[in-house]
Amino acid sequence: MKQTMTTKQSERLINAVKFIVLLIFGVLLMTPFLWMISVGFDRTANIAMPFPPKLIPDNLSAFNYGIIFENGRVFKAYLNSGIVTTSSVAISVCSALLGGYAFSKGKFKGKRILFFMVLCTLMIPMEPRLIPLYKLFNSVGLLNTFWPLILPSLVSGFLVFLCKQFFDQLPDTLREAAQIDGASEFKIFFSIYLPLAGPIAATMVILSFIWSWNDFMWPLVVLNNQELHTIPLYLASFSLENGTSLGGLTMALATVSILPIVIVYLFLQRYIIQSIALSGVKGE
């Protein structure tokens, strides 16, 4: 009995230590974001950045946010980012689901070689692809449009790999039973496997949303028209124009720029947890 109680107490102590450690690291990770929000509500930060940093400003005011939304450019940048991000997410997720299912359940010649080629794209960063992509879109006259930001999302090696790993966990007996009933391959995918892919689809939506919304280098290369600038480009141009002289406005704009990512994550976080849990279950 004493040994059992000792074991329970040691487990509680270990869990308490884990919680405290995770809490400390969580607070450390959140501190820069909290400071960014705090400076955004500090009107005096437009004159001089507060030092030492304070999480609660002395002069709490929504003045900076009012100035930001009075400028119509931020709404235009939001609209541009919304168009690009929504299109990129839809294309990348749909293509990854189809590709992942084909590589997981499909049987065709050259499947391993094609999948290896898809994985090879993960080893090539964006920087070496900038010039070839720029020349490609320039040759077809698509620069200074949203198409160069949307079309490269058609194939994402990481998302295809993620989908394949997920579909590998689902039993092949579902497909075999449907084939016996005479269902076509598209019917099997859309009626059986796609409804089960909700968790992994939600995970891919968040990942592709973050990638597209925060993308800076590629839009900077292909978009010269300020009317087409996305949120990261508008934030960068605002920072270059004002430097640290308007620190409060810059931090307020940065806070506004990440709100869509936070909202999307809050709505889909339970699906992400579910996909992580299912990834360790092997279907038989």
Q: Identify whether residues 185 and 151 lie together within a single domain.
A: yes
Chosen domain end from 19, 51, 66: 66
Domain that residue 112 falls in: 71-278
Q: Identify whether residues 62 and 122 lie together within a single domain.
A: no
Q: Identify whether residues 48 and 159 lie together within a single domain.
A: no
C-alpha closest to that of 264 among 211, 209, 226, 222:
209
In a domain, 1, yes or no: yes
> Is the pLDDT reported for residue 57 higher than 80?
no
Q: Identify whether residues 47 and 88 lie together within a single domain.
A: no
Find the mean pLDDT for residues 32-51.
76
Q: Identify whether residues 36 and 77 lie together within a single domain.
A: no
In a domain, 116, yes or no: yes
Residue 172 φ/ψ, nearest 5 degrees = -70, -15
Q: Identify whether residues 29 and 96 lie together within a single domain.
A: no
Find the mean pLDDT for residues 221-237.
87
pLDDT score of 73 = 82
Weakest-pLDDT range from 42-51, 57-66, 217-226, 248-257: 42-51
Record the pTM: 0.80
In a domain, 93, yes or no: yes
In a domain, 283, yes or no: no
Weakest-pLDDT range from 46-55, 120-129, 227-236, 251-260: 46-55
pLDDT score of 50 = 67
Q: Identify whether residues 50 and 80 lie together within a single domain.
A: no
> Is the pLDDT reported for residue 154 higher than 70?
yes
User: What CATH number does residue 192 fall under?
Assistant: 1.10.3720.10
In a domain, 30, yes or no: yes
Q: For residues 180 and 92, which has the higher predicted lDDT (pLDDT)? A: 92
Q: Identify whether residues 57 and 152 lie together within a single domain.
A: no
Q: Identify whether residues 61 and 158 lie together within a single domain.
A: no
Q: Identify whether residues 34 and 76 lie together within a single domain.
A: no
Q: What is the SS3 string spanning the chain?
A: CHHHHHHHHHHHHHHHHHHHHHHHHHHHHHHHHHHHHHHHCEHHHHCCCCCCCCCCCCCECCHHHHHHHHCHHHHHHHHHHHHHHHHHHHHHHHHHHHHHHHHHHCCCCCHHHHHHHHHHHHHCCHHHHHHHHHHHHHHCCCCCCCHHHHHHHHCCHHHHHHHHHHHHHCCCHHHHHHHHCCCCHHHHHHHHHHHHCHHHHHHHHHHHHHHHHHCCHHHHHHCCCHHHCCHHHHHHHHHHHHCCCCHHHHHHHHHHHHHHHHHHHHHHHHHHHHHHHHCCCCCC
> Is the pLDDT reported for residue 203 higher than 80?
yes
Average pLDDT, the chain: 83
Q: How many domains does the chain have?
A: 2
Chosen domain end from 41, 66, 91: 66
pLDDT tens digits, residue range 14-38?
A: 888 889 999 999 888 888 888 888 8
In a domain, 113, yes or no: yes
Which residues on neighbouring strands pair with residue 60, listed in sequence order?
42
Q: Identify whether residues 212 and 152 lie together within a single domain.
A: yes
In a domain, 32, yes or no: yes
- Is the Cβ–Cβ distance between 210 and 7 less than 8 Å? no
Chosen domain end from 66, 89, 113: 66
> Is the pLDDT reported for residue 278 higher than 60?
no
Q: Identify whether residues 62 and 192 lie together within a single domain.
A: no
In a domain, 284, yes or no: no
